[in-house]
Amino acid sequence: MEARVNRQILLVEKPAGRLGPEHFRLTEAAPPAPKDGEVLLRVRYISLDAANRAWMQGATYRAAVEAGTVMAGGALAEVVESRGEGFAPGDLVFADTGWQDYAALPARELIKLPKITPLTHLLSVYGIAGLTAYFGLLHVGRPKAGETVVVSAAAGSVGSLVGQIGKIKGCRVVGIAGGREKCDWLTAELGFDAAVDYKAGPVFKALKSAAPQGIDVYFDNVGGDILEACLAQMNVRGRIACCGAISQYDGAPSGTGPRGVPGLLVIRRLVMQGFVVMDYFKARDQALGDLQSWVAAGKLKVQEDVIEGLENTPRALIGLLAGENRGKRMVRVG
Ligand SMILES: NC(=O)c1ccc[n+]([C@@H]2O[C@H](COP(=O)([O-])OP(=O)(O)OC[C@H]3O[C@@H](n4cnc5c(N)ncnc54)[C@H](OP(=O)(O)O)[C@@H]3O)[C@@H](O)[C@H]2O)c1
């Protein structure tokens, strides 16, 4: 084995308010030696996810990230050495490696991936983001052709795919995003029917004119005030797919809203359902097949935002939470 250094980014302190660079530290260690049943991985691309911030707050669908440990995160990685069944050097996997150059993980925790071009699509449209958009919209939101679908964080990795899948299914699609530029991109490039800039003023009125027939499916990435504005405009028997609550992740005062729960749910016979993408992994092949055919047919545009260098991962997450990204943000580990 050539001499190697394992650069690691530690979460040195859990943020009480907004996440900043001071909460992280770059350090170096020797690469781990894989034990029996484990595989040594070299990290190629780290996935940046809004949920990374939520993991610092406490247990979610995974254990909380603790201060003094390597920051957790999913990544596309290459097998360097295998002491686990079913993996050989050169294989590509998705794994919870954390923010570092190398990780040794049990073989049973790895998802083997095909070698496709570009590799980055394995983290965007064919990764968690694409599957979340697919299952959240089609299995939880269950839109029918002609219905109105609204999605928040619409220019982000999940949201930009949700809106386009809604269009593929024959829906009228409205995106909610921060800033005129993002909104113009959604309508001009991604085919959304309308977009609401939530930073330009209260969402309720703008949404009313963007979705004059009311909302049948709301794909909620943000929670808080935007959820409240959408809830009030839901049509009878509408569905709200609760995907995440990014407005609550990064130092926001603890939410009191949305108002209208449960009153509006009762009167309008609404279904409001949370989901975690892993719940649907049994249907992964079908989802990937559909996503691949839509990408090949040019119906689904994939937007990626690749930041260079492991050392820039903290900045990349802080920027994602502030809305810097368009589409799927990831870090290429040099
Ligand atoms: N349930 C699941 O299985 C699952 C899986 C993956 C992701 N998720 C969730 O999906 C959502 C999207 O995550 P992602 O990783 O794909 O991130 P992303 O959408 O690529 O990026 C986050 C975007 O959220 C927007 N944002 C930030 N603060 C906001 C606020 N206070 N109000 C409204 N918008 C805000 C920003 O865009 P603007 O410029 O528009 O503000 C930012 O670009 C998150 O809630 C995440 O937790 C859930």
Specify the pLDDT at position 254. 67
Examine the pLDDT at 323 and tell me if it is beyond 90: yes
Alpha-carbon distance of 305 to 320, in angstroms, equals: 10
Contacting residues for 137 by C-beta, under 8 A, at least 6 apart: 143, 149, 162, 165, 166, 217, 219, 241
Cα of 241 vs centre of ligand 1, distance in Å, is 14
* 326 pocket-lining for ligand 1 (C-beta < 6 Å): no
Tens digits of per-residue pLDDT, 110-162?
Answer: 999 999 999 999 999 999 999 999 999 999 999 999 999 999 999 999 999 99
Q: Are 318 and 20 in contact (CB under 8 A)?
A: yes
Query: In this structure, are residues 165 and 134 in contact, taking their beta carbons and an 8 Å threshold?
Result: yes
Taking only the tens place, the pLDDT of each residue in 20-71 is 999 999 999 999 999 999 999 999 999 999 999 999 988 888 889 999 999 9
Which atom of ligand 1 is the closest one to the Cα of 322?
Answer: 27
How are beta strands 6-11 and 24-29 bridged, if at all? antiparallel
Q: What is the pTM assigned to this prediction?
A: 0.97
* Per-residue pLDDT tens over the stretch 242-279: 999 999 999 877 666 799 899 999 999 999 999 999 99
Report in angstroms the alpha-carbon separations of 242 from 31, 132, 246, 281: 39, 11, 11, 18
Q: Which amino acid is at 231?
A: L
Q: Return the ligand 1 atom nearest residue 321 CA.
A: 27
pLDDT band at 309 (very low <50, low <70, confident <90, very high): very high
156 lines ligand 1 (CB under 6 A): yes
What whole-number distance in Å separates Cα of residue 238 and Cα of residue 323?
Answer: 28
Has residue 178 got a pLDDT over 70?
yes
What pLDDT sits at residue 256?
67
C-alpha span between 119 and 126 (Å, rounded): 10
Instruction: Give the pLDDT of residue 2.
Output: 56
Pairing of strands 194-197, 172-177: parallel
Pocket perturbation via mutation, ligand 1, pick of 125, 158, 248, 284 by most ligand atoms within 8 A of CB? 158
User: Is the distance from the beta carbon of residue 74 to the nearest atom of ligand 1 less than 6 Å?
Assistant: no
